[in-house]
Amino acid sequence: MATLARALMVQGTASGVGKSAVVTGLCRLFRREGIRVAPFKAVNMSLNAGVTASGGEMARAQIVQAEAAGALPDVRMNPILLKPVAGEGMQVIALGSAVGLLTADEFQARGAWAWEIIADAYRALAATHELLLLEGMGGPAEVNLRETDLANMRVAALAGSPVLLVADMAFGGAFAALLGTFSLLRPEEQGRVAGFVLNRYAGKRSSLEPAIADLVRRTTRPVLGVLPWQDALSLPEEDTASLREPLGRLGAPLRIGLVWLPHLSNFDEFGPLSREPDVALTYLRLPEQIPRSDAVILPGSRATAADLAYLRGCGLAEAIREFAEEGGHVVGICGGYQMLGRRLLDPDGVEGEGEIEGLGLLPAETVFAGEKIARSVRVSAGPLLGPGGPDGIAGYEIHHGRVRVEPGTPAALLTASREAEGARSADGRIWGSAVHGLFQDDRFRRAWLNALRAGRGLPPLAPRAEDREIMFDAWADCLKAHGDWPRIRHLALGR
């Protein structure tokens, strides 16, 4: 019988406190020691998803953690992914495949089914690794959810894992959150808590010592890290609650507007834009913000029809149309691409039966189908950016909508088999694509920005490399320098 891996779990006082970042840093630290390590998050509720090489869908956060660990992303690292949709439902992804739409109550009723998937995935990973770094979901002390827990202390018990409890220092209340969470845990759950981590602290640690001493006295648990605020940390965020402005450099010459959507998905792909030296990236929530942009991006959406109705209701749809008519640049990615067309048809009720009018900026229509497309792709940007446009851009598709483009419409991209993908206006100001990840390609991002610069009479800039390996190592170094690494390492490895 194979020896199962050891485990260390990172839980948090709430969503968005930094659990994913801490796990990512630990993945890199243990990888650097030659440990066969992998991440594991039993249940993730997120609209930031990606596709594995085998075509399975999983949360982007666990894909990034796998990369930090030097492991191939595997859907068993995130066996259950929940993607909220319009209304009270959510799409359930189990081991990389969509299994249907369920309400929260319906999903809870299938808890035994979900737990079997989770436990089997955990054991399979644990049999082929030396260490699994587990991440919780939300906070472990929601008393109303204790009996249906699939992601926090129940997983820690399955793995026999100690737990690090993380709190966010950025907005105050971290010590109360840690003490309150700890106090609400059952005695056996408190016994698993091995220490606390304070994340995103912008001051001197010495000023925290009285509060740390009080927390240690009340809980008898040590504080094993005080992690500083990291402006340049470019790890993907889990949910939209974590998005804070400003995203780009205020006063930069290029003003890029990212349209805010209630069901905004895969927003992490635009993070590299916010780190460009000549970009001020802003979320657009009001119609009057649109005309102040050089380009407007409609991002992906998990509920395209509902989000399009939202844009109409708040006046953003009309403002985007006027912006395009007056010469502005408008881009649509996946759901945003579908919105740019003339109409969206949903004969099978995938998002809601009927027909909805699109923005009419591209000669295309979308038909929703029950079967979900999830695949990795490589594309060329030659049709959009000219003969020098980058080739071999790695991206991925995740969508139910099939876009039908009117014959004769110029393509935005070409696939590896030289087939047309996406659509654009004749002058290239308005374009859309089903492919996620374009703006994460250094060459594409800079070529597109340089086209905007040329329109403003600005000289081109050279591409700026987003080296994820450097980022992983820098964050791991930070975690090691500001955490009690020997004690954390001992908790994980027992040595």
pLDDT score, position 161: 97
Q: List the domain boundaries for the chain.
A: 6-234+471-493, 241-465
CA separation for the pair 334, 372 (Å, rounded): 13
Q: Is the CATH number 2.40.50.140 carried by domain 6-234+471-493?
A: no
The reply to whether 334 belongs to the active site is yes
Same fold, 6-234+471-493 and 241-465: yes
Architecture of domain 241-465: 3-Layer(aba) Sandwich (3.40)
Decide the pairing of beta strands 193-201 and 223-228. Answer: parallel
pLDDT score, position 241: 47
Query: pTM here?
Result: 0.88
Alpha helices for 33-96 (secondary structure H): 60-69
Active-site residue identified among 129, 329, 399, 436: 436
Contacts of 298 (CB under 8 A, 6+ apart): 259, 261, 320, 330, 331, 332, 333, 335, 336, 337, 339, 340, 432
Alpha helices for 220-334 (secondary structure H): 271-274, 304-314, 316-325
The HSE-up count of residue 88 (CA atoms within 13 Å, CB side) is: 5
Contacts 24+ apart (CB under 8 A), 70-77: 70/31, 71/37, 71/38, 74/38, 74/125, 75/121, 76/40, 76/121, 76/122, 76/124, 76/125, 77/38, 77/39, 77/40, 77/41, 77/121, 77/125
pLDDT score, position 247: 57
Instruction: For the beta carbon of residue 98, count every other beta carbon within 10 angstroms.
Output: 18
Determine whether 179 is exposed, middle or buried from the number of CB atoms within 10 Å of its CB (0-12, 13-18, 19+).
middle
SS3 of residue 239 by DSSP: coil
Active-site residue identified among 329, 334, 399, 400: 334
Positions of the chain with pLDDT lower than 50, given as ranges: 1, 240-242, 244, 246
